[in-house]
Structure 1
């Protein structure tokens, strides 16, 4: 066995073997995979092998399309059959809300180059004459869906990887991993091997491997069963193959398997878990079948496809799959471990594995992938997510796998996990909460009516409008204690910031700068607000969901020779966003600090006293009004909040939520990290030239910025009005010029102060100019969009600077 490799991949399932292939294809051929048994042992070998194109995410549409393309082409490349069957697929919709989602998904699919059609009942019956459709209103047909033989397909990837120079060692059991020098040593029963990069793609063994590294991997083994029937008389002489059916009514998939049927339900209650402590000897093993447990869903399957009730069961496959709490794979860097990568946790590994591996390989080799990987990044979880939470949330998510998850939807289990000191006050006022990195965050305030979330218009529209009016006309308060908060200090802190970020470090104490950490290729990896406290201390804030990731990025950027300390102080401070034209009047009642523009101008920070607490007050406002962010020691937050609300009572001070903040920032054309700003584009495409300084001698990503400026870019950000006041702009809608897709929506919101629906879109550069027009498709219909040149509200920033 080799003693060293540039990359060592642990695990010989579809994720691991395809990772090996794509790394070699990207040019890293000194790559080795070790597998304790045969390739595909564990989960891959017993997977049902479905490969759907129906995805509610543009990135996952691209991920799944990659697998389907590879399964249909690998046989020609390698001579190894993959067992690919192009059967097509039908996803059923039971009501108008689901059908609207289908229309949204079809728009996403077409942006990924995938053929998809919303179809009515007559068309469904033509495609599949054996379905009972009494409670169905329509569906989506994806003609290039299919299924594959998992073992054959994995072996095809292995052959292709070896042909590119990769090495595979089977029957090689790892027993430990240690950090040695600047790399890693993996101990095995066939000898030890060192590597520069380690990829853990060990399926349900990943938690055990993670333990060797002190890494908590948020995975839970969920039992899943599917059955294969005897031959069905109606199919014996039928040419071709029936489309694969996905039915939310029975929470199951159903397809033809040779001349019989295959079906598997995902239970909506009574989810069974299997221990994470799986013995290493568990290889090509299954669990005892238990059809009684899934009997209610099998009955619903038989109602949907009566053919299931006409034949006997030939075999039952009962195994378990490692699920994450959000059912999204873990693909990317392991937090806090240099050059350790995860590629695991997929609920549909055969469909997602190759695509996940392709983009992981790009990330590893080039520093960024062609798609944004933030949603798959393992650093979306943190220490706050303990094992009980991981288990509860995974059970809930797995129980709702086939449910509709419209914009604004959040899971309920394991909550509240993190709350600000004023959570109870906000809840008593009717706050409706979402969740981010465990924090309870206010979406909006209701009068007790439940929120109806949909793909048309959220029921909160009028209440959000009232919150926006309060901010625009008087004063509003938003609890954003969920911000990630860091301190960077030391004699080299300023040099570290200038080297790490595209923008310059704030020069003087009290200065504030919006800074972006870029990849080496110039893509946006993080957005952080940097405030200079004194000569050697900088205070940083970023999105709450990015706490682990941003701390990891900052720490990884450190030079060991620099005198720099980086501390995560997220739990030390709460944050109140106070915005509106009456803000100065109200704050002046609870502090002696001079808040005049002359003494406290825009984009400056001061420490002020409120109710005996030293408050870091930052004069910035994502709402686009006169305002401050009050960063309050966490123990004093409630006292400061109550004082503020009392002081502003006669001005009609009002709490507002994140729905309103989104509408307000859209009126000001403020970009959002994770939507307009992602690690698949740069500040050049985002039209944010003022946030990088090419005059600096160097910073990470500078060459990538210069290359884009010299060569031009393929897409540019445009800020538009959309002639669809009755619909919510969600994001990921296709943008059309005639019948040609020219771009994609990133986010949007209704501008209540201007009475217009607003959106950001990335389009081909010639369409980004002021007054350009095109169409945005929403719920299957096209609506005119017009490019705006400036923010539609207060373009001169007079209200911000007041």
Structure 2
């Protein structure tokens, strides 16, 4: 075994082998893979091998697409059979909510150019004669889906990896990982040590143990999964073509052909966690004892959908462990707060994504940036709250809901509440209905406490609409208060702070005390990395605020770019400071009564920051907000939040100050055309394509400048626009195709209903030639095309008179 390597990949399942294969294939030398047993000894050996284009997320669908592309070419490249069958797949629906979900998936898939079509129950029966279609109202069909041999693809990629120079070591166990004085990683094994620049944790069932070797806790726990192979079925064997895979998500089952029979896979109502506190190191390729009583109801579901299985015996019941994370999606990418340590673990659908994630993660490691936006699977999407106990509770809810209807507002109760602001009880008393955002309980909307508060999730406007409408219009006419304590907050100090921050953002860092700047951070290609506001407190002292969900992502980027000379210090103050926002035409009067200072427009202009006593508490007050009304962000010591809140509410009583929630904020930001991180601002877009191009200052050096210069020289390929859609009860949510005639010319990035303007709104990217206000286009929502018109941004208060009043 080598003692020096560029990268060590830990884990010899389909994921780890794929990462090693792609790193070697794309030109990295000294790639070493370490596996404690034989390849495929973890979860890979028992996988069913289904490969589908279906995923609820746009970018994860691209990973699936890349996997299928790779698998179909592996045999020709390596000579190893991978057992690929193109069978097509059907996904059924037996209720309107499921049909809405499929409508969203259909439209999103069309953005990606996938071959997908609607299917009637009659057509399903024709395509799969053994299927009972009773109760089904429709579905989708992907003709290019298929299945693969998990062992075959892993062995093929291992052959390819070795062909390109990678070293694969089996029966070699990692025993520890240390950091050397020079900053390299030292991977200890029972066969010797390897010093390397990069480590990839692709250890599957053992990924938590490997993470603990470097001081990390990751939310990944093993659970048992069962699939059943039936005895030979003559009607299957005699069929002249491969039968399509069928997923019946409303019964939480899938059925596909395997040789002359059928396989039934299922996700039962309660997961059986397996060695949740740590999988034994000596486990390998051993089947677990199946619990037929535990899965009996779902076997009945399978027999209902395919009655012939009720006439057939079991040939083999496979019960084995696979890993689960809090939301069922894997943990991929840089491991916060470490340098050059990556995760590729937590997979419950590993074969579906192994090829694709190996490709994309290899590119991420080699180039420093992902080729597509992998935020939906980024391990940094979880904070410290996502510990073992959190996941232990969460996957009890996640596993039985793996086939639940996907919709954007389905807030689950498991492992909640977790992190609450001090005014949480006041919010509850006011009728708050909460969502969880990066572990924080945040009000989505407020009710009058007399009606059923629970949201009815779905893709159409629902029972929250009236509440959100009232909140938006109240903020527009009076004043509202919003808790945004969850903001990620970082203090940057030191003699090199100003110069360093100027390299991190395309905007110029404020040079006067009390000034605030909207300061996008870009990656090395010039695409959006993060959205940040920088407030200059004093010389060499800056207060930076970013999105709460991006806390680890953004602070990791800052940490990785800190100068080595110690001239810049970085302090995370997220949990030390709360933030209350007051907004609306009466907000100045509320603040004036609550504080001991002059807050007139002349004394406290828009875009400035001051230290002000609010009641008895010294606060940092920024005159700006995300809703487009006169307003203030009031940052305060978190332990004093109740005092600040009470002072504001008492001062606001005469001005009808009321609390409002996240749904109202998002509605109002759409009307103002304010960009959202990982919607409008992601790795596929630059500021030059948006309405924040004014933040780009090309007369200084900054990360991403060369990328912007290149784009300016070549011409900006697309432009962010605001579209008003002729919608009835279903608004765009994002990832909706935008049509010009019969041609798909763009895609929405986010959308919803604007309650102050009473319009259905979408933000999205189109060619510049179609970006002029008045351009008529169509937006497809839930499979239905809606007429839409490009309008000038911002749609609400276009001259910003209300915000700057």
Q: TM-score, normalised by structure 1?
A: 0.98
| Equivalent position to 1:789, from 787, 792, 804 | 792
The aligned residue for residue 484 of structure 2 is 480
The aligned residue for residue 25 of structure 1 is 25
Distance 1:250 1:666 in 2: 37
Which piece of structure 1 moves more, 501-510 or 416-425?
501-510
Is residue 34–residue 172 contact of structure 2 (8 Å, CA) maintained in 1? Answer: yes
**SS of equivalent to 1:571:** coil
Distance 1:716 1:83 in 2: 44
Which piece of structure 1 moves more, 360-369 or 223-232?
360-369
Distance 2:718 2:191 in 1: 51
**SS of equivalent to 2:604:** coil
Distance 1:467 1:33 in 2: 56
1:281 corresponds to 2:282: yes
| Equivalent position to 2:458, from 427, 445, 454 | 454
Is residue 369–residue 680 contact of structure 1 (8 Å, CA) maintained in 2? Answer: no
The aligned residue for residue 433 of structure 1 is 434
Distance 1:278 1:660 in 2: 45
Counterparts in 2 of 1:671 and 1:13: CA distance versus 1, 3 Å: same
| Equivalent position to 1:641, from 640, 645, 651 | 645
Which piece of structure 1 moves more, 601-610 or 483-492?
483-492
1:572 corresponds to 2:572: no
Give the drift of 1:516: 2.0
Distance 2:4 2:739 in 1: 51
The aligned residue for residue 534 of structure 2 is 530
Give the drift of 1:276: 4.2
Q: TM-score, normalised by structure 2?
A: 0.97
Give the drift of 1:687: 4.1
Which stretches in structure 2 are left out of the alignment for 5+ residues? Answer: none
Is residue 51–residue 64 contact of structure 2 (8 Å, CA) maintained in 1? Answer: yes
Is residue 125–residue 132 contact of structure 2 (8 Å, CA) maintained in 1? Answer: no
Give the drift of 1:434: 0.6
Distance 2:598 2:9 in 1: 60
The aligned residue for residue 153 of structure 1 is 153
The aligned residue for residue 765 of structure 2 is 762
Superimposed CA distance per residue, residues 757-788 of structure 1 (whole angstroms, 9 cap, x where no aligned partner)? 11111223322233222211012111122222
**SS of equivalent to 1:39:** coil
Is residue 88–residue 141 contact of structure 1 (8 Å, CA) maintained in 2? Answer: yes
Which runs of structure 2 are paired with 1:127-526 in the superposition (5 Å)?
Answer: 127-180=127-180, 181-447=182-448, 448-449=451-452, 450-526=454-530
Distance 2:127 2:431 in 1: 48
Distance 1:677 1:784 in 2: 25
Distance 1:56 1:207 in 2: 26
**SS of equivalent to 2:594:** coil
Give the drift of 1:270: 4.9
Is residue 60–residue 374 contact of structure 2 (8 Å, CA) maintained in 1? Answer: no
Is residue 230–residue 260 contact of structure 1 (8 Å, CA) maintained in 2? Answer: yes
Superimposed CA distance per residue, residues 699-748 of structure 1 (whole angstroms, 9 cap, x where no aligned partner)? 11111121111122433222211111422221111112222221111101
Distance 1:705 1:268 in 2: 51
Is residue 222–residue 272 contact of structure 1 (8 Å, CA) maintained in 2? Answer: yes
Distance 1:274 1:232 in 2: 36
Counterparts in 2 of 1:773 and 1:361: CA distance versus 1, 3 Å: farther
| Equivalent position to 1:654, from 653, 658, 663 | 658
Superimposed CA distance per residue, residues 20-42 of structure 1 (whole angstroms, 9 cap, x where no aligned partner)? 22223333233221222221111
**SS of equivalent to 1:509:** coil
1:736 corresponds to 2:725: no
Which runs of structure 2 are paired with 1:603-618 in the superposition (5 Å)?
Answer: 603-618=607-622
| Equivalent position to 2:587, from 580, 583, 588 | 583
**SS of equivalent to 1:684:** helix
Q: How many residues align?
A: 801
Counterparts in 2 of 1:8 and 1:765: CA distance versus 1, 3 Å: farther
The aligned residue for residue 126 of structure 1 is 126
The aligned residue for residue 691 of structure 1 is 695
Superimposed CA distance per residue, residues 337-377 of structure 1 (whole angstroms, 9 cap, x where no aligned partner)? 11000011111100011112221112112222221111211
Distance 2:439 2:35 in 1: 36
| Equivalent position to 1:723, from 711, 723, 726 | 726
Superimposed CA distance per residue, residues 156-185 of structure 1 (whole angstroms, 9 cap, x where no aligned partner)? 112222333322222222211111122111
1:541 corresponds to 2:545: yes
Distance 1:541 1:399 in 2: 37
The aligned residue for residue 43 of structure 2 is 43
Q: Find runs of 4+ consecutive structure 1 residues off by over 4 angstroms.
A: none
Which piece of structure 1 moves more, 92-101 or 456-465?
456-465
**SS of equivalent to 2:797:** coil
The aligned residue for residue 78 of structure 2 is 78
Is residue 393–residue 411 contact of structure 1 (8 Å, CA) maintained in 2? Answer: no
The aligned residue for residue 57 of structure 1 is 57
Counterparts in 2 of 1:5 and 1:270: CA distance versus 1, 3 Å: closer
Superimposed CA distance per residue, residues 69-105 of structure 1 (whole angstroms, 9 cap, x where no aligned partner)? 1111211222211101111111111211110110110
Is residue 95–residue 137 contact of structure 1 (8 Å, CA) maintained in 2? Answer: yes
Counterparts in 2 of 1:385 and 1:473: CA distance versus 1, 3 Å: same
Give the drift of 1:631: 0.8
Is residue 223–residue 274 contact of structure 1 (8 Å, CA) maintained in 2? Answer: no
**SS of equivalent to 1:577:** strand
**SS of equivalent to 1:707:** helix
The aligned residue for residue 783 of structure 2 is 780
Give the drift of 1:323: 1.0
Superimposed CA distance per residue, residues 578-626 of structure 1 (whole angstroms, 9 cap, x where no aligned partner)? 1111111121111121111111000000011112100111000211111
Is residue 528–residue 683 contact of structure 2 (8 Å, CA) maintained in 1? Answer: yes
Is residue 89–residue 146 contact of structure 2 (8 Å, CA) maintained in 1? Answer: yes
Distance 1:179 1:259 in 2: 53
Distance 2:416 2:150 in 1: 38
1:593 corresponds to 2:597: yes
Distance 1:146 1:613 in 2: 62
**SS of equivalent to 1:491:** coil
Distance 2:284 2:689 in 1: 48
